[in-house]
Amino acid sequence: MTAREVTMVLHSGRETNRRTAAGVARRLAASGVRLRVIGDEWAEVEVDLPAGMEPRIVDGRPGCAEGSEVVLVLGGDGTLLRASEMARPVGVPLLGVNLGRIGFLAEAEEESLGDALDAVIEGDYSVEERMTLDAVARRNGDVLARTWALNEATVEKSTRERILEVVLEVDGRPVSAFGCDGVLCATPTGSTAYAFSAGGPLVWPQVEALLLVPSNAHALFARPMVISPDSQVAVEVDASGPPALLDCDGRRTFVLPPGARVELSRGRLPVRMVRLDGSPFADRLVRKFDLPVRGWRGAPHADG
């Protein structure tokens, strides 16, 4: 009988993280679950495991999680975004355990790691799908790049000295033109990330929508917009201006020559995320952003 497998993606730069990873490996091995690990991440992890339960080394390329039950992510949001590249093509769900600071994408905190491992071992969890973005960059009809994003795709200026001039298009019609530092197209998942710091709204993950958020725009009408998840968005870069950059999740970056056009739409493949306790998104907002809720009395309840 083939052993159950879990792929682990680790932020290995901290000794405490490596010790945590060793403990995870022992716990899973004791329950008959074998790890797949990325070679350079695992090189400094010291742990003795039963014969036959040694981790299997994989290369970290997209799709390397195929056949795993879960991709267990030990780190912060950056580590989870990296892991999403391995999991998304093969539909394996991600379970993030925050070993960083905010870790908004993580489902569990370090102090609840034991409960998260129990859920994986027992198969006691649900899975939700998160929208993604597909992005295509073109110039004069030629495709320059095809990529995707879980959080956001950003068209941004490549030099500090020059303003980026863009035209924003939605569903084949021009909406606005302005100079800016950039334009973000974000998913609801990404609404708590770069788009939030650029002044965009927070959107509950269950809402299907696309967010358009100009960054430092020099225009009267350059407000964030929430549009249909099925809309087609394009950002056109001025043909007489400087080159720009297309950046997806801070991980996949492409140079855009003057006159380039970036087309953005709902991603063909979602990212699947493990849910453990079903707690409301509002609770996560309060916890992660340390929001003040003092004075809340809750909804009144009728006697009887």
What residues act catalytically?
A: 77
* Buried/exposed 94-108: b ≥16 CB within 10 Å, e otherwise: bbbbbbbeebbbbbb
Q: By C-alpha distance, which of 163, 10, 155 is closest to 79? A: 10
Tokens 């916890």 label which residue?
287
Burial class (CB in 10 A: 0-12, 13-18, 19+), 75: buried
Question: Helices marked H in the chain — which ranges?
Answer: 15-30, 39-42, 77-87, 113-122, 194-197, 281-289
Tokens 């004075």 label which residue?
295
Tell me if 122 sits within 8 A of 210, measured CB to CB. no
Tell me if 55 sits within 8 A of 77, measured CB to CB. no
Tell me if 131 sits within 8 A of 149, measured CB to CB. no
Q: Rg for the chain (alpha carbons), in Å?
A: 21
d(CA 103, CA 235): 30
Instruction: Report angle CA 56, 44, 252 to the nearest 5 degrees.
Output: 75
Tell me if 248 sits within 8 A of 149, measured CB to CB. yes
- Cβ contacts of 290 within 8 Å, gap of 6 or more: none
d(CA 132, CA 143): 20
